[in-house]
Amino acid sequence: MSSFPDRLHAAGAACALLLAFGAAAQTGGEKFSGIGRVATPAEVKAWDIDVRPDFKGLPKGQGSVRQGEVIWEAQCTSCHGSFGESSDIFTPLVGGTSAQDMKSGRVDSLLPGANQPQRTSLMKLSTLSTLWDYIHRAMPWTAPKSLSVDEVYAVTAYMLHLGDIVAADFTLSDGNIRELQQRLPNRKGMTTAHAMWPGRELGGKPGADVQGSACVRDCKKDVAVRSFLPDYARNAHGQLADQSRLLGPTRGADTSRPAAEKSGQNVASALAPRGETAPENIAKQDVTAILQKNACLACHAMDSKGLGPSFREIARKYKDHADAVNYLSGKIKGGGQGVWGSMPMPAQALNAAEAGRLAQWLAKDFPDR
């Protein structure tokens, strides 16, 4: 969560690079001959989706709190909860802001000593454009960019309503979003000490951060770039695997063991919380790759319950089920609800071959169930 704005900056930078290259290639003609091709206007348009703090880039559209509620219930609650409080796995999006914060533009619960258990997205948010842009490009997690522009307006309106920033009958649009920026609880909470904010478009003078002079001399002629952590430092801050959340595609490595020789070799065992069976021991590597690629591990683990049941429990349940492969591959693609509890599993965007492979693994190849 702390990297929310940073990630957007990174995305913006990548986008700017691409555009710069597109422009250079176009004007430079043969300058880069043999390297790629000039991006077509349609490609540039498809990439150029960032919405800036002054709302430059924001497409026209609108959506009401009520429409947003419907989308939220169907597509966001499974991870972020009915009220943005989130499941015990994800950090909360809403909460911790007050009517007083909306007046002052500073969120009191961010102050040292405030009795706030977790920082929510709305507590930290200083530019409304960022919320709109983030949902538009990245959510829902399992199907990014699947929401229409109006749906993004609606679900953003609903989040603002959950945060008591707008009323239940509010409709958010490109016409009134600037007024709402003026009501954001943390709109004055962004630091300016780094001299990169506010940017030129907001009347600032960026660039003061790069006014130093070059001070590097006597550089090495040949430099081998590599990344490694000496063994003595590996566990220096305690077991990393115990310090991050238990579920999800990105987890701390097991630092109590030496690093694997080849990079990548440790991925599967890092995925399994300690004491669990690493996926590569259960089936061939391709199962792990398919699970990772499709973010199944966001909700399922090998041996412990997450949002969904553990894979071992599933394998046990369908052990003697005659049509298990067919049944499970259908469920893996289509999702479902009610077999294990009230939490729904959304439909998954994997192909039939992948779903079939996973179903085969769960129904037939799963050892020691």
> Quick check: 55 binds ligand HEC (CB under 6 A)?
no
Structure token pair of residue 46: 């498809």
Residues 178-237 that bind ligand HEC (CB under 6 A): none
Query: 140: Cβ–Cβ under 8 A, 6 or more apart, which residues?
Result: 75, 76, 79, 146, 147, 346
Part in contact with ligand HEC (CB under 6 A); list of ranges 59-67, 258-266, 280-288, 333-341: 333-341
* Residues 125 to 184 in contact with ligand HEC, rule: CB under 6 A: 131, 134-135, 139-142, 147, 155
| C-alpha torsion sign, points 289, 294, 298, 301 | negative
Judged by beta carbon, residue 73 or residue 231, the one nearer ligand HEC is 73
Compare residues 96 and 140 and give the one whose CB is closer to ligand HEC: 140
Position among 346, 357, 361, 363 found at the interface with ligand HEC (CB under 6 A): 346
Point out which span in 14-22, 225-233, 268-276, 300-308 binds ligand HEC (CB under 6 A): 300-308
Asked if residues 178 and 55 have their Cβ atoms less than 8 Å apart, the reply is: yes
Q: Distance between CA atoms of 8 and 53, rounded to whole angstroms?
A: 12
Q: How many CB atoms lie within 10 A of CB 207?
A: 11
**278 lies in the site for ligand HEC, by CB under 6 A:** no
Query: Closer to ligand HEC at the Cβ: 282 or 307?
Result: 307
Does residue 340 touch ligand HEC according to CB under 6 A?
yes
Among 241, 287, 362, 363, binds ligand HEC (CB under 6 A): 362
Cβ burial of 237 (10 Å; 0-12, 13-18, 19+) is exposed
How many CB atoms sit inside 10 A of residue 328's CB?
Answer: 23
| Binding residue (CB under 6 A) for ligand HEC from 79, 107, 253, 325 | 79
User: Could you tell me the smallest distance in angstroms from the CB atom of residue 175 to ligand HEC?
Assistant: 21
CB distance 159 to 73 below 8 Å: no
Count other C-beta atoms under 10 Å from residue 232's C-beta: 7
Residues in CB range of 308: below 8 A, 6 or more apart? 299, 300, 340, 343, 345
In the complex, the smallest distance separating the C-beta of residue 279 from ligand HEC, rounded to whole angstroms, is 12
Nearer to ligand HEC, 253 or 314 (CB): 314
Q: Long-range contacts for 10-19 (Cβ within 8 Å, ≥24 apart)?
A: 11/50, 11/137, 12/50, 15/47, 15/48, 15/50, 18/44, 18/47, 19/44, 19/47, 19/48
Smallest separation, CB 240 to ligand HEC (Å):
17
Sign of CA dihedral 191, 196, 198, 204: positive
Q: Is 329 in the site for ligand HEC (CB under 6 A)?
A: no
Among 51, 65, 76, 123, binds ligand HEC (CB under 6 A): 76
Q: Identify which of 178, 191, 176, 159 has the alpha carbon closest to the alpha carbon of residue 73.
A: 159
299 binds ligand HEC (CB under 6 A): yes
Residue type at 61? G
Report the residue number, 25 or 64, with the smaller CB distance to ligand HEC.
64
* Contact status: 296 vs ligand HEC (CB under 6 A): yes
By CB under 6 A, what part of segment 91-130 binds ligand HEC? 93, 121
Q: Residue 49 Cβ, how far from ligand HEC at the closest point, in Å?
A: 16
Q: Which is nearer to ligand HEC, 133 or 254 (CB)?
A: 133
CA pair distance 128, 246, nearest whole angstrom:
31
- Rule CB under 6 A: say whether 73 interacts with ligand HEC: no
For ligand HEC, the closer of residues 142 and 288 by Cβ is 142
Contact between 68 and 156 (Cβ < 8 Å): yes
* Binding segment toward ligand HEC, per CB under 6 A, in 22-30, 59-67, 165-173, 330-338: 330-338
Binding site for ligand HEC (CB under 6 A): 1, 4, 71, 75-76, 78-80, 90, 93, 121, 131, 134-135, 139-142, 147, 155, 294-296, 298-300, 307-309, 314, 328, 331-332, 336-341, 343, 345-346, 348, 350, 358, 362
